[in-house]
Amino acid sequence: MLWTIAIVLFILWILGFGVFHVAGGFIHLLLVIAVIVIAARLLTGRKPI
């Protein structure tokens, strides 16, 4: 599920450069949160349920 969220946030981040220029800051914040969550998951080695 976290991978799905990360992919959606990445797509929104890419769209933020051109389509949603006003919401670009918010989308970048979501991307940073997604990267932190993925890094924490990889470092802890937890397996999906």
Terminal alpha carbon distance of the chain: 10
Alpha carbons 42 and 2: distance in angstroms, whole number:
11
**pTM for the model:** 0.49
Confidence (pLDDT) at 25: 72
Confidence (pLDDT) at 26: 74
pLDDT in tens, 2-42: 788 888 878 877 776 666 566 667 767 777 888 888 888 88
Q: Say whether pLDDT at 44 is over 80.
A: yes
In this predicted model, which residue has the larger pLDDT, 11 or 48? 11
Confidence (pLDDT) at 11: 82
